[in-house]
Amino acid sequence: MLHLPDLTTLDQQHLWHPFTPMRQWCAPEHTPLILVSGHGCTLRDQFGNEYLDGNASIWTNAHGHTHPAINAAIIEQLGKVAHTSFLGFTHEPAIRLAKELVDLLPGGKITRAFFTDNGSTAIESAVRMALQYWKQNGRPERDTLVAFDRAYHGDTLGAASLGGIPLFKGSGNDFGYRVITVPSLEALDSLNAGERLRIAAVVIEPLIQGAAGMRLWPQGMLKKLDDWSSEQDVFLILDEVMTGFGRTGKMFACEHEGVVPDFLCLAKGLTGGYLPLAATLTTERVFDGFLGEPNEGRTFFYGHSYAGSQLGCAAALASLRVFRDEQVLEQLPAKMARLGELMVDLPGYRQCGMIAAMTIDSPDLSLGSKVCLAARKHGLLTRPIGNTLVLMPPLCVTLEEIGRMVAALKAALAEVTSPECRTA
């Protein structure tokens, strides 16, 4: 068995971590944090230190770590089969999960679920479906996607081409789909008739943009966008990879404004944060647009080896049961209120359900990272977006744990920031 120093050395010699400055990570004086176990909202490192999971393990964990119901569902499925191909085959967990997911949306508009493995591929599926639909259903001129300034929809090539944050596109920003980027609904409405006729779909993170620094959309904007899309007969794609499964106080963010889109993209919290699984939910209209004889070429030729994974579907079904059995959504209003009460005095504070953020106003963009490192000494793990500090705990978090998280964040902020920025 390897000892901890050996693991650290091997990590620095052989691993390449995402979104991580690796020169600093591999420096001899740096000791990587090795997370070894977790329960509920608590994680433990290689030294036995405990931390509250302040960002739900990158916005994925819904019901806490090692939840007995999800653990049991995965173990039960393992006793049957772990994985079989979903290309030309099917299985019970995927069938049941598809039915449960489409039933979560009102009105019967959403009828189909297409499974992949992460948020980027959920978006890829939606945009490819939208573009192919128009091409083979009499409107081939509809070859353009509309996205919003500062948007983030994933890192695969097509999803990244929708993004409005150059940093996340890598060294070359000219790639992917034909995309028009607009800053607001008003800018979208001002597009000329020729541009509108080329639009296949509009893509948005509803209510709040995540990687943009937890930037809130104006109330009512989503409903207006839905109305505009319907008037133009343009598909509306909602990226609920972050906001889905209770993060905004309802199961899906679109429920706040009574919107049911043409495509709903889900991942992260779909399995309760346990396993990679994504779903692109869509309508019978879209599905019908791909029907035909094999030699007509109307099939959607896209998919992944682990699409519809039995283990992922079993975890997702268990997560949805936990939402029902433990009345997760019903308990959120008190938690959201407590989060707001404790953070309202922080600079640049904003909140959307169980997503809370504040921003340090400083030209030194390293302060956010320094605050998060300092927070570890106070028992909190979270991750900044530049100088925006985010608390997005698992939904099972208690009022007492919320208090400890905010206290740790404030203590770390006071230690790191200049006197004029201190709030603790």
Q: How far is CA 268 from CA 26, 154, 278, 418, in A?
A: 28, 12, 7, 36
pLDDT in tens, 376-421: 999 999 999 999 999 999 999 999 999 999 999 999 999 998 664 4
Q: Residues 305, 374: one domain?
A: no
Residue 180 lies in a domain: yes
Q: Residues 91, 211: one domain?
A: yes
Is the pLDDT score of 312 beyond 70?
Answer: yes
Domain count within the chain: 2
pLDDT in tens, 352-366: 999 999 999 999 999
Q: Is 269 exposed, middle or buried (CB count within 10 Å of its CB: 0-12, 13-18, 19+)? A: buried
Q: Residues 251, 344: one domain?
A: no
Average pLDDT, the chain: 95
Which of 403, 424, 402 lies closest to 413 in space, CA to CA?
424
Helix/strand/coil for 283: strand
pLDDT in tens, 72-98: 999 999 999 999 999 999 999 999 999
Residues whose CB is less than 8 angstroms from the CB of residue 258 and which lie 6 or more positions away in sequence, other chains included: 223
- Give me the CATH number covering residue 381: 3.90.1150.10
Residue 13 lies in a domain: no
Q: Residues 300, 410: one domain?
A: no
Residues whose CB is less than 8 angstroms from the CB of residue 196 and which lie 6 or more positions away in sequence, other chains included: 232, 234
Q: Residues 215, 99: one domain?
A: yes
Residue 14 lies in a domain: no
Is the pLDDT score of 30 beyond 50?
Answer: yes
Is the pLDDT score of 422 beyond 50?
Answer: no
Helix/strand/coil for 143: coil
Residue 221 lies in a domain: yes
Q: Residues 263, 143: one domain?
A: yes
| Domain C-terminal end among 293, 325, 357 | 325
| Domain C-terminal end among 262, 291, 325 | 325
Structural domain for 81, as ranges: 71-325
* pLDDT at residue 5 in the model: 74
* pLDDT at residue 168 in the model: 77
Q: How far is CA 315 from CA 75, 105, 145, 301, 329, in A?
A: 10, 20, 33, 27, 19
* pLDDT at residue 150 in the model: 96
| Domain C-terminal end among 325, 349, 380 | 325
